[in-house]
Chain A
Amino acid sequence: MDIIYTIWLRNMKRYVRSKSRIIGSVSMPLFFLLFLGFGLNSVVQIPGMDENYVVFLIPGMIAMSVLFTSVFSGIQIIWDKQFGFLKETLVAPVSRLEIMLGQTAGGATTAFIQGVIILVISVFIGLNSQSITGFLIAFGFMALIGIAFTAFGIAIASRMDDMTGFQLIMNFVVFPIFGLSGALFPISSLPPFLIPLTLIDPLTYGVEGIRYGLTGSSQINPVVSLAVLGGFTVAMTIAGAYLFRTIKS
C-alpha cells in the first residue's frame, strides 16, 4: 500500500505543479459546454426530457474531461520512459503490480479532479441538482471512468516506445469512444445501425450513470451502467497490469 501511495503522491505533486495542463484540459470541455450548449440550446429539444440542452450536455462534458485526462495520464508513462525516470522505479525492490496500481490511482485521481472542476462550473451555468445522493452517484461513475481509462492508457503506453503514436490513439480510439458515448446526443436518436456501437462503448455507461446522478433520468438503467462500467474497469486494470509487467525501460 505504501508503494502505491508513493507513486500516487508523485503524480499528485506533478499535477498540482502543472498549472497549464490543468487549465488546458478544463478549457476544451468548458468551451464545448459554452459554445455547443448555449449555441444549440434554443434549437435542440431532447425527446422525453424537460431540461434544456445545456443540462443534457453537462454529464457528457464531465465524462469527456475525465476520459481525456485519464487516458493522457496513463500514456504519460512514455514520458517517464523517455526521460529515464521509469528505470528508477523499475529497479527498486517493488513489484510491477504496485507500480501500475500507483500510477492508475494517480491518473484516476487527476482525472477525477478535472471532472469535479467541470461539475462545479456546471452548477453556475444551469445545473440545479439538489440531491447529495445524486452527486455521490455521479462521483462514483467519474471515479470508475478515471480508473478504467488510466489503466487503458498504461496498457497502451506499455506497448509504445515514444509519443508518435499518441495522436493516432487519440483520433482513432479515444475520440470515437467519446463521440459514440451519447455525451453529445441521446443514444436513442441515432440511426439503428449505430446503436450497437454505442452499446459496446464502455463510456456510454459512464455518461449515462453520471446523467442519472445529476439529472435523475437516463436511458440505461443505472444498475446496468454500474455493472458494465465496473466490469470494464476491472478488465482494463487487469489488462494494464498484465501489459505493464513486461514493460521495457
Chain B
Amino acid sequence: MTVAIHVNHLTRKFNDLVAVNDISFEIEQGEIFGLLGPNGAGKTTTLAMLSTMLKPTSGSATVNGMDIEHNEDGVRKSIGIVFQDQSLDEELTAWENMDFHGRLYRIPGDIRNQRITELLALVELGDRKDDIVKTFSGGMRRRLEIARGLLHRPAVLFLDEPTLGLDPQTRNHLWQYIATLNKEHGITIILTTHYMEEADRLCNRIAIIDHGKIIALDTPANLKDGIGGDVVTIKSSDPSAIVAALREPWVSRIEQHNGQVTISLQNAEQHVSTIVTLLNRDGIAIESISIHKPTLEDVFLSFTGKTIREEEADGKANMRMYHKMMRR
C-alpha cells in the first residue's frame, strides 16, 4: 500500500495554547480516515496544517509524497478541501462557483466544462446549475462544495465536519456520496467529525483526538473490541457503592462518572441478573440499568473519562481563545 499522508511529530502552538501536540500517523491511499474528537480538540488545526493553510510550530508532514512546508503548491494541487464553514460565493450560480474553481486550478476550458457537468450530475445539482447559490439549502451547498473540491481530480479529499448542521436525512445521503467517491473513484478521504456515528459508519480507521493529542488509533471494530465486551450502564444515587460491590472476576472494567457506573464485560445478558442480585443484597438502589454493544462514545469515555459532550463544554473556552489567536 502506498502512503497518502505521513504525519511526523506535528505540533502547533498558539502562544501558550498547544492546539496540536506532537501527533504522528500515516494514511494509506484509498482509505477513509477519520479524526474524531470534541470541538477544540485540534482537528481543524491539523487539517489546516496538512492543507498548507497554517505553518506547523514543529514536526513535519507529507501529502502525496510532498512536504507541506517546502512544496506548498504541489500539495495544494493534489488535495481537494471542503471547509467546516461554507466557502461558496452566494452571489454566483452553482456553475459559476465551479467554473471559478476550475480556472483557479488552471483546468483547460473544454475539460473544465465537461467535468463540471459530470460532477454537478453526480451531486444531483445538474438541474440547478444556473441558480444563484443563495437560494440553495444547507445540504445542497455542502454537495456543491464537495463537487467543487473534486473538480481538479485531487488524490486526497479533506472534509472538515462534512455534515455539521445538516438534518439526518441529508446526512445519510452525504455519507453515501462519500462512501461512493471512495469506492468507485479510489479517492483517499480524511475527514474530521465529532459525530460518533459518522466516524463509525464511514471510516476505515479512526484517530481519536483530545486536547491536541491522538489518544487512540485503530479500526472502529478494534477500538470497540478494546472496551472488553458489552457495556452495562447503571444509574444510581450511590455510584461508588456499586463500584465497591461489583468487584467480580467477570467485570473487565468498571468506572463511575456523573452518577453513572459504566461496566464493561463479556456476555452482559448472562450477568445482568447477577449484578441486580448483588446490588440488592447490599441495598443499593438502582434508578435504571441498560445493556448495549460498545459504541465509539464508550471508547472515548474509556480513554478520557469524559463523554465527548462534556469535553466540548470544556473545549469551548479553548475554542474562543483559539479563534482570537487565529485572527492575530
For B83, what are the chain A residues with a Cβ–Cβ distance below 8 Å?
84, 87-88
Report if B77 contacts A (CB, 8 A).
Answer: yes
- The residue on A at minimum CB distance from B104 is A92
Report if A2 contacts B (CB, 8 A).
Answer: yes
Tell me how far the C-beta of A91 lies from the nearest C-beta in chain B, rounded to whole angstroms. 6
Please name the 6 residue pairs, one residue from A and one from B, whose CB atoms are nearest each other, closest first. A6-B103, A93-B76, A84-B87, A92-B104, A93-B73, A88-B87
Tell me how far the C-beta of B125 lies from the nearest C-beta in chain A, rounded to whole angstroms. 17
Docked Cα-Cα span, A90 to B92, in Å, equals 18
For B86, what are the chain A residues with a Cβ–Cβ distance below 8 Å?
83-84
For B53, what are the chain A residues with a Cβ–Cβ distance below 8 Å?
87, 90-91, 249
Q: Known contacts A2-B106, A84-B87; is A91 also within 8 Å of B81 by CB? A: yes
Report if A201 contacts B (CB, 8 A).
Answer: no
Docked Cα-Cα span, A47 to B77, in Å, equals 63
- The reply to whether A92 and B89 contact each other, CB–CB distance below 8 Å, is no
Docked Cα-Cα span, A165 to B106, in Å, equals 36
Report if A19 contacts B (CB, 8 A).
Answer: no
CB under 8 Å from chain B, chain A span 4-26:
5-6, 9-10, 13-14, 17-18
A-B interface contact total, Cβ < 8 Å: 69
For A94, what are the chain B residues with a Cβ–Cβ distance below 8 Å?
104
Report if B96 contacts A (CB, 8 A).
Answer: yes
Main secondary structure of the interface of B (DSSP, over half): loop
Report, as a range, how many residues of chain A touch the other chain: 20 to 34
For B52, what are the chain A residues with a Cβ–Cβ distance below 8 Å?
91
For A89, what are the chain B residues with a Cβ–Cβ distance below 8 Å?
104
- The reply to whether A91 and B91 contact each other, CB–CB distance below 8 Å, is no
CB under 8 Å from chain A, chain B span 51-88:
51-53, 72-74, 76-77, 81, 83, 85-88
Task: Give the most central of A3, A87, A91, A248: most B CB within 10 Å.
Answer: A91
**Residues 194-211 of chain A, each 1 if its beta carbon lies under 8 Å from chain B, else 0:** 000000000000000000
Docked Cα-Cα span, A94 to B88, in Å, equals 18
CB under 8 Å from chain A, chain B span 231-284:
none
- The residue on B at minimum CB distance from A82 is B85
Report if A175 contacts B (CB, 8 A).
Answer: no
- The residue on A at minimum CB distance from B101 is A88
Docked Cα-Cα span, A14 to B90, in Å, equals 10
- Point out residues on A near B: beta carbons under 8 Å: 2-3, 5-6, 9-10, 13-14, 17-18, 83-94, 161, 248-249
Tell me how far the C-beta of A210 lies from the nearest C-beta in chain B, rounded to whole angstroms. 31
For B327, what are the chain A residues with a Cβ–Cβ distance below 8 Å?
161, 248
For A92, what are the chain B residues with a Cβ–Cβ distance below 8 Å?
76, 101, 104-105
Docked Cα-Cα span, A86 to B106, in Å, equals 18
Report if B1 contacts A (CB, 8 A).
Answer: no
Report if B317 contacts A (CB, 8 A).
Answer: no
- The reply to whether B87 and A2 contact each other, CB–CB distance below 8 Å, is no
Docked Cα-Cα span, A91 to B53, in Å, equals 7
- The reply to whether A14 and B92 contact each other, CB–CB distance below 8 Å, is yes
- The residue on A at minimum CB distance from B97 is A88
For A17, what are the chain B residues with a Cβ–Cβ distance below 8 Å?
91
For B89, what are the chain A residues with a Cβ–Cβ distance below 8 Å?
10, 14, 83, 85
For A10, what are the chain B residues with a Cβ–Cβ distance below 8 Å?
89, 92, 96, 100
For B96, what are the chain A residues with a Cβ–Cβ distance below 8 Å?
10, 13
For A13, what are the chain B residues with a Cβ–Cβ distance below 8 Å?
91-92, 96
For B100, what are the chain A residues with a Cβ–Cβ distance below 8 Å?
6, 9-10
Tell me how far the C-beta of B112 lies from the nearest C-beta in chain A, rounded to whole angstroms. 11
Tell me how far the C-beta of A159 lies from the nearest C-beta in chain B, rounded to whole angstroms. 11
Tell me how far the C-beta of B85 lies from the nearest C-beta in chain A, rounded to whole angstroms. 5
For B85, what are the chain A residues with a Cβ–Cβ distance below 8 Å?
84, 87
Checking B88, B103, B326 against A85 with a beta-carbon cut-off of 8 angstroms, the contacting residue is B88
Docked Cα-Cα span, A2 to B105, in Å, equals 10
- The residue on A at minimum CB distance from B93 is A13
Known: A9-B103, A88-B101, A93-B77. 6 other contacts (CB 8 A): A13-B91, A14-B89, A18-B91, A92-B104, A93-B105, A161-B327
**13 A/B residue pairs, CB under 8 Å, sorted by A:** A3-B104, A5-B103, A10-B92, A13-B96, A14-B92, A84-B88, A87-B85, A90-B53, A91-B53, A93-B76, A93-B104, A94-B104, A249-B53
Tell me how far the C-beta of A19 lies from the nearest C-beta in chain B, rounded to whole angstroms. 12
- The residue on A at minimum CB distance from B102 is A6
For B90, what are the chain A residues with a Cβ–Cβ distance below 8 Å?
83
- The residue on A at minimum CB distance from B77 is A93
